[in-house]
Amino acid sequence: MVIENNPVQNPVVKTNSEVVIIGGGPMGFAVSEIIEKNLNEYYLWFPDTLSYRKWRKEKLIKINQYEFIVPKNIKFVTGYDFFKDKSLIIIFALPSRQFEEIVEMIFENLNPENQYDFRFNYKRFFKFP
């Protein structure tokens, strides 16, 4: 059996919708690192303006024990008005404690004239004694 060593090239996603990751925590940045090579531009949405203001100009972000290099093709955004003006592919990367409230607020701000595609990444961490 011969196995060829051909690297798989990641295609650039072509869509009329823009991509937004919901959640500016470790999971949001982890998802960002996964998709950044496949998109020309995308958004990372912060539920709180404090984190948005703190990190919007940073090139290296440290959250707990994690470090993330901010890709050049990402734009940081915040505020629920962001969801009204465009068709979006929405990737949720939120902790369970924020999930319900934020999803409800986003749904209240969607424009029925736009198209939306939802991806849910539900996470729950357990602490063991």
pLDDT in tens, 33-90: 888 888 889 999 999 899 899 888 888 888 888 888 888 899 999 999 999 989 999 9
| CATH of residue 65 | 3.40.50.720
Question: Is 92 part of any domain?
Answer: yes
Q: State residue 58's pLDDT score.
A: 87
Q: Which two tokens stand for residue 121?
A: 């990444």
Q: In which band, very low, low, confident or very high, does the pLDDT at 21 lie, cut at 50, 70 and 90?
A: very high
Question: Is 127 part of any domain?
Answer: no
Question: Is 64 part of any domain?
Answer: yes
Question: Is 5 part of any domain?
Answer: no
Beta-sheet strands, E only, within 8-97: 18-22, 42-46, 60-63, 66-69, 74-78, 88-95
Number of domains present in the structure of the chain: 1
User: What range does the domain containing 78 cover?
Assistant: 18-122
Question: Is 54 part of any domain?
Answer: yes
Which is nearest to 97 in space by CA: 23, 29, 45?
A: 23
Strand order through the sheet with 116-123: 74-78, 42-46, 18-22, 88-95, 116-123
Question: Is 75 part of any domain?
Answer: yes
Alpha-helical runs (H) found in 1-124: 26-35, 49-55, 96-108
Percent of the chain with pLDDT over 70: 81
Question: Is 1 part of any domain?
Answer: no
Question: Is 129 part of any domain?
Answer: no
The pTM score is 0.78
Which is nearest to 115 in space by CA: 96, 90, 95?
A: 90
